[in-house]
Amino acid sequence: MTYASRLIINHSKKLKHVSTLLRRDHAVAVRCYSNCTQPSLTGRQDIFKARLNYSTVEIISKCSAGNVSMPSGISTMSTKLSSTMAGPKLFKEFISSQMRSVRGFSSSSDLPPHQEIGMPSLSPTMTEGNIARWLKKEGDKVAPGEVLCEVETDKATVEMECMEEGFLAKIVKEEGAKEIQVGEVIAITVEEEEDIQKFKDYTPSSDAGPAAPEEKPAPSPPKEEKVEKPTTAPEAKSSKPSSAPSEDRIFASPLARKLAEDNSVPLSSIKGTGPEGRIVKADVEDFLASGGKETTAKPSKRTDSKVPDLDYVDIPHTQIRKVTASRLAFSKQTIPHYYLTVDTCVDKMMGLRSQLNLYQETSGGKRISVNDLVIKAAALALRKVPQCNSSWTDEYIRQFKNVNINVAVQTENGLYVPVVKDADKKGLSTIGEEVRFLAQKAKENSLKPEDYEGGTFTVSNLGGPFGIKQFCAVINPPQAAILAIGSAEKRVVPGTGPDQYNVASYMSVTLSCDHRVIDGAIGAEWLKAFKGYIETPESMLL
């Protein structure tokens, strides 16, 4: 009891700076105990309790090692913890493993208090990130809210802010480091400036920690040698007779054998495509259809001509390129696409746009683009046909009440889809301002998660900027549809009289639909509503 009391008193002296501890952001505690079984800490009192609870575990381990009596409360806690173990040795290993897993402020005698800053999760789908740029250097003083570095996530480049006051002692992951897992240490901060030099050659514990436990299975090889000797001999004996017939025997179905025999075709000249190389009827038919030539293309690759070396450059994948590739591949492989195309007359829409732009110029506003009108028409059509404003899940179809339109924006870094939220409730001028603002942020690679998350429908326009007449876009999961906008072109159309002809501008639009969510008739109904808004643009202003 005396020894335990002395330990508690000594530990309480270490908490004389508890006011400083309470000022730390709760995110520090979350990082410190991310590998523990304790719940996430959300308040200052929880941080203090967690520190005291962890100290109690240390005391229990020391007292249990020395067989020292403890107070009833502590002894009860020791009994509950040790009951889950197979003995005192495993209990000590459990305590030491928990101490090794803690990341945060160190009280080691050789190193001053410090904090290991890990790669944060800056988006719901982020599993790894790249360091785009460090805004702070080693030795710089940092304060809460100041930007430490720019992190390239799976969707955008996001600023990472410092959580508390201190000094940047060491940058573990240099500028340009790629594929850093979430939680992996990227920097070290200290409280005092004179402690910076002590971390010059510091290696994070997370890098060296996992290597030690893996060396424990080393003593097992002697046992494996004894087991291998008797087992290898019968395997060698049984493998010799089985390997000989497999080289000479040709496996073929009875029907394939009969067909080959009737046509005097040796089975050895036919390559089988059935299970385990088995020759089936279709292989024989293909051989006969090819005029008796062998179906394999391997011999044709052998040539004496020298192929000239190609000059090329390997461009590393960016995070946005990786995400775009994986999401679109997932979309085409799992979503049953079908496409509906309709031509819309845009003469009235272009006339209304000219009138509105004339008013905007006189009032000092920004011009309204065709894309702004298309977004507004698509949003109103979604409100009219809400089945297209949905997404598929394994249990149900989720139909959204908000109409949030993603707009595809091409940049040098890749394809971004910022979102215009509640587009059905906004005016054309507001939609145009938001699209220009978000497109500029996309080109500057400074979009935040709230700028591109939460979309329910996507619009992709390759007609206006590139003159593409018509194309089919790939659905952006988990959405159920995407609208592809082509360019407007003048066409000769029949007039009112028998020999009269008029010239009108038509724009082709293609709706890509997820057939699990949107039936063909529903997709056609949506296109009909969209075409109505485009050809009668005054109805969008009502």
What amino acid occupies position 362?
T
CA distance 25 to 39: 16
Q: Which of 378, 371, 349 is nearest to 455 (CA)?
A: 378
**Can 11 be counted among the known catalytic residues?**
no
CA distance 442 to 413: 9
Instruction: Report how far apart, in Å, the C-alpha atoms of 150 and of each of 161, 177, 278, 440, 446 are.
Output: 9, 12, 57, 18, 10
Quote the distance between the C-alpha of residue 355 and its chain's center.
44
- Residue 343 annotated to the active site: no
DSSP letter assigned to residue 210 = G
Q: Which tokens sit at 384?
A: 């009219």
Secondary structure (3-state) at 197: helix
Element (H, E) at 248: helix 221-248
Task: Return the closest-CA partner of residue 110 out of 16, 14, 199.
Answer: 199
- Token pair listed for 133: 């740029």
The backbone torsions φ and ψ at residue 197, rounded to the nearest 5 degrees and listed phi first, read -65, -20
Number of Cβ within 10 Å of residue 384's Cβ equals 16
At 81, the amino acid letter reads L
Cα–Cα distance for residue pair 388/183, rounded to 1 Å: 39
Length of the chain: 542
Write the secondary structure of 217-239 as one string of H (helix), E (strand) and C (coil).
CCCCHHHHHHHHHHHHHHHHHHH
d(CA 1, CA 71): 7
Please give the structure tokens belonging to residue 147.
């930007």
Catalytic residue among 140, 207, 422, 519: 519
3-class state of residue 58 by DSSP:
helix
Q: Catalytic pick from 11, 26, 337, 515?
A: 515
Is the torsion defined by CA of 78, 79, 80, 83 positive or negative?
Answer: positive
Q: How far apart are CA 178 and CA 363, in angstroms?
A: 49
Whether residue 534 contacts residue 377, with contact meaning beta carbons closer than 8 Å, is answered with yes
The radius of gyration of the chain's CA atoms, rounded to the nearest angstrom, is 35
Cβ-based neighbours of 265, under 8 Å, separated by 6 or more? 284, 287, 288, 292
Identify whether the C-beta of residue 477 lies closer than 8 Å to the C-beta of residue 456: no
- Residue 301 CB neighbour total at 10 angstroms: 6
Active-site positions? Answer: 515, 519
